[in-house]
Amino acid sequence: MTDSFDPSPAAGDRFSFGLWTVGNPGADPFGPAVRPRISPTEIVAGLSKAGAWGVNLHDNDLIPFGASAAKRDQIVADFKQALSDHNMIVPMATTNLFSHPVFRDGAFTSSDAKVRAFAVRKAMRAIELGVELNAKTVVFWGGREGVETDAARDCRDAIQWFRECLDFLCAWTKDQGWDLKFALEAKPNEPRGDIYLATTGHMLAFIETLEHSEMCGVNPETAHENMPGLSMVHAVAQAMEANKLFHIDLNAQKIGRYDQDLRFGSEDLKGAFFLVRLLEGTCNRPAYTGPRHFDAHAYRTEDVAGVWDFATGCMRTYKILAARAKAFDKDSEVQQILADNHADPDGVGSMLTSYSASNRDQLEALQLDADAMAAKGHRYERLDQLAQEYLMGVRG
Ligand code: GCO
Ligand code: MN
Ligand code: MN
């Protein structure tokens, strides 16, 4: 690593945090809050000082449920003032459709049509708030959209109701003349026993069935893909390949556990390295241009000072990994191993890009020696060791 490299975060890095992330006071199912709740305006000031660019929110992170119109307007005005004082923006807004007991059996997938109506109307108010704060993306995370027992409803009805609510909200947003993107976030379980549309892959398939699929994409989260042991890198790559990566929730997670929402890169550092490499496009592909959002929170052991250590750590790790990935991709030995594996001197790949009579005939005429091809080693042990050495800082 060169001496001039500085991993300090700056606005141009497009790092964002949610009010609910740095504002998390450390309560868990086994114990209460352990640190004071930092107010939204203090969070704006603290994030700006730490080098972040954006702050995201649920409607109720800012405006208490049931607040009067006057109270709401006052809170929003104070928040906007803090944003302008500290040169911060709100890139994304979302709706809390999980905390109030009315959503105990789902919001958009509740069997009770009145609860679904309440959820859609609450989302409309949250979208209005997002537009007022200039947000460009609206995230939907359906924390209560699931079941403990499949006796409760037919899963097909739940999917249909989910689609109807999103179609309604997309059409209403267009009707208002707003140019917004909706990003759908999957999670396999917690707080429900099973949550519908459990992974980013499920969401991508579902999105294609929506009336306004063009305005809908995904918001993959590291922890949510890792909980069931899936690859976040592959989920994000599939979303990017489909032009559907509209937002991202970066954090860390040990496989198979509850949703830990740990500091970015603090678990599975190699997974984080390949994820950042993918997002930054250093492997000669277009980079992701949206917000680099951290949906994580500080360990329960921390006081407020520890919260800022946590936030700074997320951003520094991302920048260090981006620099390491760039150096890895420039390494001539890495490039040689990749080139050897991708070599196609006879132009065989082009025969497979589409079906035609001529491609079929060329394919049939090819001399293909399976045993000779099978004898070749790929040198991925060496390639992965090179990645590890860049990651450990001993090369490049
Ligand atoms: C979780 C989710 C949430 C969402 C948030 C934004 O597991 O709690 O990740 O943090 O990302 O509600 O929609
Ligand atoms: Mn999330
Ligand atoms: Mn999570």
Residue where one domain finishes, among candidates 279, 311, 328: 328
Does the Cβ of 94 fall within 6 Å of ligand 1?
A: yes
323 shares a domain with 336: no
Does residue 304 sit within a domain?
A: yes
- Domain endpoint, select from 311, 328, 345: 328
The H or E element that residue 182 is part of is strand 181-185
Residues 202 and 244 in one domain: yes
Considering the domain architecture, whether residues 240 and 373 belong to the same structural domain is answered as: no
Does 160 lie in the same domain as 108? yes
End of a domain among 328, 343, 369? 328
| CA separation for the pair 107, 326 (Å, rounded) | 43
Q: Which atom of ligand 1 is nearest to the CA of 219?
A: 11
The total of structural domains in the chain comes to: 2
In a shared domain, residues 320 and 340:
no
Query: CB pairs under 8 A, 24+ apart, for 380-386?
Result: 380/337, 382/333, 382/337, 383/334, 383/337, 383/338, 386/328, 386/331, 386/333, 386/334, 386/337
Q: Are residues 77 and 223 in the same domain?
A: yes
Residue 351 and residue 264 share a domain: no
Which atom of ligand 1 is closest in space to residue 21's alpha carbon? 10
Under DSSP, the state recorded for 267 is S
- Within a domain: 1: no
187 lines ligand 1 (CB under 6 A): yes
263 and 372 share one domain: no
Q: How far is the CA of 121 from the centre of ligand 1 (A)?
A: 20
Domain that holds residue 273: 11-328
Is the shortest distance between the CB of 105 and ligand 1 below 6 Å?
A: no
Q: Residue 141 belongs to a domain with what CATH number? A: 3.20.20.150
Phi/psi at 58 (5° precision) = -85, 150
Q: Are 219 and 342 in a shared domain? A: no
Q: Is there a domain that residue 2 lies in? A: no
Does 381 lie in the same domain as 287? no
Using alpha carbons, select from 159, 160, 155, 120 the residue that is nearest to residue 140.
120
**pLDDT, one tens digit for every residue, the chain (396 residues):** 555 789 999 989 999 999 999 999 999 999 999 999 999 999 999 999 999 999 999 999 999 999 999 999 999 999 999 999 999 999 999 999 999 999 999 999 999 999 999 999 999 999 999 999 999 999 999 999 999 999 999 999 999 999 999 999 999 999 999 999 999 999 999 999 999 999 999 999 999 999 999 999 999 999 999 999 999 999 999 999 999 999 999 999 999 999 999 999 999 999 999 999 999 999 999 999 999 999 999 999 999 999 999 999 999 999 999 999 999 999 999 999 999 999 999 999 999 999 999 999 999 999 999 999 999 999 999 999 999 999 999 999
Identify whether residues 173 and 220 lie together within a single domain.
yes
